[in-house]
């Protein structure tokens, strides 16, 4: 009998790609999503991203529920209906800049939602969870590349990063209090790209908050130019440097983290970086996307964005050593796959309904 995984936020960008990989790995999947970060389906129907997931995986979901994690009663109902073996938890608000403007909404969604999920899991006797965390827990890095021993929680520059840090602290305390828990936190370093089929990809409901979808929208003609937030950072070309990782590599990392959560030798809490270990500046990303798309990407330098830091690059040796994971797709492939999705779906999933 195959194991059943509950994926929160499974209709979103990273969640949908991970759901495909979970299905491919032989897991059964039930998805919970409030559809705050994704295009919702018509009444009683799946979101278009999950319709595509089923087509690509050639396998159906066990179920889909349009439920907010802050709704404890509705969430408990999902656990009562399905015998869940583990949870992969993506559901959260995720824009650094927006979190500075709307801190209450971010604490409510990300912290309260995670607390409610963990409480409902405990009541249902489910103690395995893979958590979607972030490199923002490192704040302004004290050294690079940042490894898992780097201090977290100090000098955090935005509420989004604080919500991820607080949730990690809750999980560490929970694991220390009860040896039944098996909790794995994955700290992301800028997911980009799309499924190589071009059938699913990143589809921001409003203005993009991340670099690559903004670049892609300029390349496809939806926007006139890209705003580059600052060119006076202490980096080789003055623009912000980030560690970009292909979303399919990231999705595969969740499957490997889940394998660890199910291993008999693991108990407690562990955290891992998922990135490439290579920094790419904003201007380097623009150049790489121009090569992949054959399109110009006009840009204009504007002031720095609140909450941003100059450079963040990962050390991912621990994930390779303990999970057997490493990023296999390079920047060119990230850009080519993102462009394929954008070119085929200039209006994202809205054109799929």
Instruction: Count CA atoms within 13 Å of residue 46 on its CB side.
Output: 20
What is the total count of domains within the chain?
1
* Global pTM value: 0.96
CATH of residue 27's domain is 3.40.50.720
Q: What is the pLDDT along the chain (353 residues), one digit of tens a residue?
A: 699 999 999 999 999 999 999 999 999 999 999 999 899 988 888 999 999 999 999 999 999 999 999 999 999 999 999 999 999 999 999 888 889 999 999 999 999 999 999 999 999 999 999 999 999 999 889 999 999 999 999 989 889 999 999 999 999 999 999 999 999 999 998 999 999 999 999 998 777 778 999 999 999 999 999 999 999 999 999 999 999 999 999 999 999 999 999 999 999 999 999 999 999 999 999 999 999 999 999 999 999 987 788 999 999 999 999 999 999 999 999 999 999 999 999 989 986 55
Domain containing residue 295 = 4-352
Residues 6+ apart with CB under 8 A from 295: 219, 220
Point out which residues pair with 138 in neighbouring strands.
none
Task: Give the position of tokens 């039944």.
Answer: 180
pLDDT one-digit tens code per residue, 188-205: 989 999 999 999 999 987
Of the listed 13, 106, 160, 272, which one is catalytic?
Answer: 160
Instruction: Count CA atoms within 13 Å of residue 29 on its CB side.
Output: 32
**165: annotated active-site residue:** no
pLDDT one-digit tens code per residue, 24-34: 999 999 999 99
Q: Are 326 and 190 a contacting pair, CB within 8 Å?
A: no
């Amino acid at each position: 009998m195959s194991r059943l995984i509950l994926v929160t936020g499974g209709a979103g960008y990273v969640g949908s790609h991970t759901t495909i990989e979970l299905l491919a790995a032989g897991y059964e999947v039930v998805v919970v999503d409030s559809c705050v970060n994704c295009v919702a389906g018509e009444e009683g129907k799946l979101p278009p991203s999950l319709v595509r997931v089923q087509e690509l995986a050639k396998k159906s979901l066990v179920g889909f529920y349009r439920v907010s994690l802050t709704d404890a009663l509705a969430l408990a109902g999902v656990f009562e209906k399905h015998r869940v073996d583990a949870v992969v938890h993506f559901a959260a608000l995720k824009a650094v800049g927006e979190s500075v403007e709307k801190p209450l909404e971010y604490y409510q969604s990300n912290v309260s939602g995670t607390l409610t999920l963990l409480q409902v899991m405990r009541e249902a006797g489910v103690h395995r969870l893979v958590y979607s965390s972030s490199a923002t827990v490192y704040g302004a890095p004290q050294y690079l590349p940042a490894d898992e021993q780097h201090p977290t929680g100090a000098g955090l520059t935005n509420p989004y990063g604080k919500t991820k840090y607080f949730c990690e602290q809750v999980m560490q305390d929970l694991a220390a209090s009860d040896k039944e828990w098996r909790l794995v936190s994955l700290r992301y370093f800028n997911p980009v790209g799309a499924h190589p089929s071009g059938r699913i990809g990143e589809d921001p409901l409003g203005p993009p908050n991340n670099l690559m979808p903004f670049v892609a929208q300029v390349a496809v003609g939806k926007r006139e130019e890209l705003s580059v937030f600052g060119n006076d950072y202490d980096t080789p070309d003055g623009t912000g440097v980030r560690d970009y990782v292909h979303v399919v590599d990231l999705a595969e990392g969740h499957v490997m983290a889940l394998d660890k959560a199910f291993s008999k030798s693991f108990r407690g809490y562990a955290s891992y970086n998922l990135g490439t270990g290579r920094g790419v500046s904003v201007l380097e990303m623009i150049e790489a996307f121009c090569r992949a798309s054959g399109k110009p990407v006009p840009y204009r330098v504007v002031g720095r964005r609140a909450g941003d830091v100059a450079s963040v690059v990962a050390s991912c040796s621990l994930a390779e050593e303990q999970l057997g994971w490493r990023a296999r797709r390079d920047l060119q492939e990230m850009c080519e796959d993102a462009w394929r999705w954008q070119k085929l779906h200039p209006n994202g999933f809205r054109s799929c309904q």
